[in-house]
């Protein structure tokens, strides 16, 4: 029995980078709209937790892990729906401008995710769930930045879509 050489991993596709940058762009938009948190301690803890969680979820999406992929699809679809509904809300013109930008951004994120999940790289990852993925370091760094920015973003009182979870 001869050992066959392992097939090398495919290069990370442009679609993965487009997805990463679209997520970063959305975070920057939200930060620009809401500003930063006022509590430095809360911001640091939130940024750390956000960075870890988003990096973990992103790694799962990039390596085609079904559960994390379903979670991201659900979040992106829900975001697009909520921003779409927010566009219908009659409010001051400045707020609707942000809503339109966020809605467009959410559609771009959905398109990038669809593009990525239809790449040869994604299919390769799905067929080899235990194979290590190469070249994801830069993408994971972008994910860490996205998560950290999420922890820095201020309160949603002025957000175009408002919801509250009470435990």
Q: In whole angstroms, what is the distance from residue 96 CA to residue 88 CA? A: 9
Q: Which residues contact 148 (CB under 8 A, 6 or more apart)?
A: 47, 48, 50, 51
Residue 167 has pLDDT above 80, yes or no: no
pLDDT for position 41: 79
Using H for helix, E for strand and C for coil, what is the string for the chain? Answer: CCCCCCCCCCCCCHHHHHHHHHHHHHHHHHHHHHCECCCHHHHHHHHHHHHHHHHHHHHHHHCCCHHHHHHHHHHHHHHHHHHHHHHHCCCCHHHHHHHHHHHHHHHHHHHHHHHHHCCHHHHHHHHCCCCCCCCCHHHHHHHHHHHHHHHHECCHHHCCCCCCCCC
Q: Read off the pLDDT band of 158 (50, 70, 90).
A: very low
What is the domain partition of the chain in residue ranges? 66-111
The 10s digit of each residue's pLDDT in 31-59 is 888 888 877 778 889 999 999 999 999 99
> Per residue in 98-154, pLDDT tens?
888 999 999 999 999 999 999 999 999 998 877 777 789 999 999 999 999 998 887
Residue 44 token pair:
């640091």
What is the C-alpha separation between 41 and 52, in angstroms, rounded?
Answer: 17
Tell me the CA distances in angstroms from 17 to 116, 146, 147, one per residue in order: 9, 13, 16
Mean pLDDT score, 20-37? 90
- In angstroms, the Cα distances linking 163 to 43, 64, 94, 107, 128 are 20, 30, 20, 21, 39
This prediction has a pTM of 0.82
Dump pLDDT digits (tens) for 68-108: 999 999 999 999 999 999 888 766 655 557 888 999 999 99
């Amino acid at each position: 029995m001869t050992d066959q050489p392992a097939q090398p991993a495919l290069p990370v596709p442009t679609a993965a980078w487009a997805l990463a940058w679209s997520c970063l762009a959305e975070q920057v938009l939200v930060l620009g709209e809401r500003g930063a948190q006022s509590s430095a301690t809360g911001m640091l803890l939130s940024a750390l937790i956000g960075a870890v969680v988003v990096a973990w979820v992103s790694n799962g999406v990039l390596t085609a892990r079904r559960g994390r992929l379903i979670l991201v699809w659900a979040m992106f679809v829900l975001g697009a729906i909520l921003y779409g509904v927010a566009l219908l809300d009659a409010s001051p013109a400045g707020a609707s401008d942000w809503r339109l930008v966020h809605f467009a951004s959410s559609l771009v994120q959905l398109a990038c995710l669809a593009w990525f999940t239809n790449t040869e790289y994604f299919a390769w990852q799905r067929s080899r769930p235990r194979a290590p993925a190469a070249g994801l370091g830069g993408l994971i760094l972008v994910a860490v930045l996205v998560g950290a920015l999420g922890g820095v973003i201020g309160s949603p009182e002025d957000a175009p879509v408002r919801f509250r979870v009470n435990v």
